Structure 1
Amino acid sequence: MSEPQRYFAKMPYMACRGVTTNLAGPRPGQRLIAGSTIDVQFDYKKTRLYEFSSSDYRNFVIPEDGIYHVHFQASVWANSVRDAGDNINAYINVKDSTGTGVNGNIASVIQQNVRSGWYQTIQVSATEYFTKGSKIRGSIYLDGGAIGDWCVADGEIDTGFYAFMIAPGSGNWTAQSPGPAPELKKWSDGQFVSAQTMNDQTVSQMRAKENPPRVTVRDTSFNMPGNPTDKNAVSWKAAYGNDKFEPVSIGPGWGANTAITIPHDGLYLVSVIGNGRMLNPPAPNAQFAFQISLHRNLDTKPLILLQGGNARKDHESGLLISDVVRFMKGDKVNTRFFGYTSTSRWDSGRSDGRWWTMSFTYLGGGAYGN
């Protein structure tokens, strides 16, 4: 009994803070080259690995099969920028070792750098099933039209790459979950402990920890006017889960698959990636704002709200939502898009399943308030 508890108390993780430097001036950091993608290399002195390993501090080896949450962020600095902004893309990439797990670019966020001599922090996260021996890395792409000096900032608070195991297991993303663990009850002196009671306290607990409820929905397509007054929840095209996370409509007129039904009360790790693309020519040297928000049921007040800007016609900007939220069984959780100005028009941009995603992973009952 004690060995599994020790294992679950400290599962594999990695934390990398601060990149290596190959650009000395005008601002130290890891150089970005226009039209190219770099795999970010981290300073081994500032890297903490538990069970993970790396030979080059660019690629990090998954220590065992399981569900992991990965987060990559990079602060990009430039001393030159086009009037309408240059795009920078952040990716989480995986090289699967067995052919049974995920492979390739699994999550992407795009943003526009619009201020010279300043920092633009771009973030991307994913919760996925990885196989032992697979390699994960964070990558940055810089627009081919960019001029001047560009770099990934080397500070420990600027750029980081993190991963931690949520649950072990040799199944896959959709392997059926047993659901939440049974409630732990105190035993009293002299109490007869049945096999069922013992299993609830041990075997059933372990099975629940090994395969918690989770779902990821991907891919949306919309085209809507700016300042939408209603019905602006995105509709998802595909869902992959291991429990009863049913894709449903929020309500009449909202469209199909605009929400996911939560199957159990409890705390959930939330990750949402979404993009906005302006279809109207923006005014020179101006950003047009948009926001992506997470809602419960038909509530107009968001649970989480993130805001961004878009300065170039026909180019996307992306946002990441990553948080822990308490949901109740039956909640219809939905993501909504809002682009500003009544004369603008927006769409979802690229829709290959990486640029628009929403995932929930059950973490336990907890006592965290709404």
Structure 2
Amino acid sequence: MTKPTLTRWQSREIPTPALMRERVTDPQKYYANMPNFSARGVKIGGAFPVGVPPNQPLYAGQRRDVIWNRTTLSTRGFTTTDGIRFRIPEDGVYHVTFNAAVWGNTVRAVGENLNAYITADGANGLGASGDIGHTTFQHQHAGSYTTIRVSITEYFTKGTSIRSQVYLDSGATGRWGIASSQFDADFNAFMLSPSAGGWRQAAVKPPNLTPWKDNAAVSVSDMNRQTFDTFAHLENRPRFTARGTSFNVSAGQEKVALPWSSMYANDSGFTLRRLADGYADRTAITVPYSGMYLVNFFCSAQHTSGVDTASYGFQFKIHGNSGSARILAQNTTTRINQDCSVALEDLIYLGAGEPLNVRFYGWGTGTRWVSGKSDGRINTLGAVYMGG
């Protein structure tokens, strides 16, 4: 179904069945089931020796497109001709997730690096292009699985194709592959807002909905508030994306709040500021509305000293009326001076005016932690307002 064109009610206009379909029924149908796809389970290849599970092979030093099983695809609006690239059907803001469980039968003592990417091939030179999401994990145990994950919220133009990719460390030996089960690997995208005005189109504030009352005259403003304003808000939800961070945590230092070098928001109510006295500038983002937010985050760290095996985590802490609600993402790195990432997304409740911040925790005796190398997109924090 094509996105409906929204128009306002006018004075002395008769709400005919045709107008009611155009301004009420059609938008309701569209926003209840916007474009999406789900690919589950990779296409397998070759014969598998005893002890090697069915998989899509990976080869050392190669960045490979993931080929998805066509029989388990579920699409609405999206199209694919090769099971690799999925074409965006309409301009808008989409949330994309990619997960893959990678198996390897030979692992060096210091582990092997695995990289996951979400890559966009922009249409006609417009919209997002290149690596829009990237995480790196370290596979540490032979004969076992490591799940690599990355997610991102991004604005895409119609005709852009998105794909998922995995890179295996050039020093890896033995047999490697992405587990073929549809529970081990998946690639999903769904539209959040069908914004046609680009990433920088200003958001429409949440509508003020009130119940209809018996025997009350329905004014033009009442009709527009309950229909047009509601759909216009869904067409361009409030959101922000912060990119680029750096930290340097000395041995024995418990934690550090992450500062963000840049932030884009389509609503002026999102503000990037200092969390509180004693913290660095640009360490918290204040949200403008109370309600549920879809948060996505990925960030890379490395340890430059200490033991080979060390653990770290990123903690989200929300200060304010929501109390001390937390999200924690942890990982372990075995290779000094090598990036290792975490990635997560979650739905969380935030109150209007509350600041959202992320803190890095590093553990390991005599260990110094620094932010990983980045092209500007590997360290990202974003959120979209989903409703009150």
Q: Aligned to 1:204, what secondary structure does the other structure show?
A: helix
Q: CA deviation at 1:221?
A: 1.2
Please show how residues 202-241 of structure 1 align to structure 2 within 5 Å: 202-229=227-254, 232-241=256-265
Q: Which amino acid aligns with 2:143?
A: G
Q: Which amino acid aligns with 2:113?
A: N
Please show how residues 41-60 of structure 1 align to structure 2 within 5 Å: 41-60=67-86
CA contact (8 A) 2:105 2:143 kept: yes
Give the equivalent residue in structure 2 for 1:277. 302
Q: Which amino acid aligns with 1:191?
A: A
Q: CA deviation at 1:302?
A: 5.5
CA contact (8 A) 1:97 1:134 kept: yes
CA contact (8 A) 2:107 2:173 kept: yes
Please show how residues 63-82 of structure 1 align to structure 2 within 5 Å: 63-82=89-108
Give the equivalent residue in structure 1 for 2:316. 294
How far does the alpha carbon of each residue in 1:107-127 deviate from its partner, in whole angstroms, 9 at most, with x for none? 100000000010000100000
Shift in alpha-carbon separation, 1:151–1:276, aligned structure 2, 3 A: same
Please show how residues 1-370 of structure 1 align to structure 2 within 5 Å: 1-25=24-48, 26-183=52-209, 185-229=210-254, 232-243=256-267, 244-283=269-308, 287-297=309-319, 301=324, 303-365=326-388
CA contact (8 A) 2:306 2:366 kept: no
When the two structures are aligned, how many residues end up with a matched partner? 360
Q: CA deviation at 1:270?
A: 0.3
CA contact (8 A) 1:14 1:48 kept: yes
CA contact (8 A) 1:220 1:351 kept: no
Shift in alpha-carbon separation, 1:357–1:304, aligned structure 2, 3 A: same
Q: CA deviation at 1:188?
A: 2.6
Q: Which amino acid aligns with 2:264?
A: Y
Q: Distance in 1 between matches of 2:384 and 2:325?
A: 19
Comparing 97-106 and 290-299, the one that deviates more: 290-299
Shift in alpha-carbon separation, 1:302–1:278, aligned structure 2, 3 A: farther
Q: Which amino acid aligns with 1:101?
A: G
Q: Distance in 2 between matches of 1:190 and 1:302?
A: 45
Q: CA deviation at 1:342?
A: 4.1
Q: Distance in 2 between matches of 1:87 and 1:336?
A: 24
CA contact (8 A) 2:65 2:163 kept: yes
Q: CA deviation at 1:341?
A: 2.2
Q: Aligned to 1:313, what secondary structure does the other structure show?
A: coil
Q: Distance in 2 between matches of 1:219 and 1:342?
A: 28
CA contact (8 A) 1:281 1:312 kept: no
Q: Which amino acid aligns with 2:294?
A: L
Q: Aligned to 1:14, what secondary structure does the other structure show?
A: strand
CA contact (8 A) 2:137 2:340 kept: yes
Q: Distance in 2 between matches of 1:91 and 1:130?
A: 16
Q: Distance in 1 between matches of 2:139 and 2:162?
A: 26
Q: Aligned to 1:11, what secondary structure does the other structure show?
A: coil
Q: Distance in 2 between matches of 1:60 and 1:275?
A: 27
Q: CA deviation at 1:24?
A: 2.9
Superposition misfits of 4+ residues, deviation over 4 angstroms: 298-302
Give the equivalent residue in structure 2 for 1:368. none
Q: CA deviation at 1:228?
A: 2.6
CA contact (8 A) 1:96 1:102 kept: yes
Structure label with greater radius of gyration: 2
Q: CA deviation at 1:99?
A: 2.2
Give the equivalent residue in structure 1 for 2:21. none
Give me the identity figure in percent.
37
Q: TM-score, normalised by structure 1?
A: 0.95
Gaps of 5+ in 2: 1-23
Gaps of 5+ in 1: 366-370
Q: Which amino acid aligns with 2:341?
A: G
CA contact (8 A) 2:306 2:368 kept: no
Q: Which amino acid aligns with 1:263?
A: P
How far does the alpha carbon of each residue in 1:41-96 deviate from its partner, in whole angstroms, 9 at most, with x for none? 00000111111000001000000000000000000000000110000000000001
How far does the alpha carbon of each residue in 1:9-55 deviate from its partner, in whole angstroms, 9 at most, with x for none? 10111001100001432221110010000010000001111110000
Q: Distance in 2 between matches of 1:121 and 1:77?
A: 9
Q: Aligned to 1:45, what secondary structure does the other structure show?
A: helix
Give the equivalent residue in structure 1 for 2:9. none
How far does the alpha carbon of each residue in 1:262-313 deviate from its partner, in whole angstroms, 9 at most, with x for none? 1111100000101110101534xxx211001111138995510011001001
Q: Aligned to 1:145, what secondary structure does the other structure show?
A: coil
Q: CA deviation at 1:172?
A: 1.6
Q: Distance in 2 between matches of 1:167 and 1:182?
A: 19
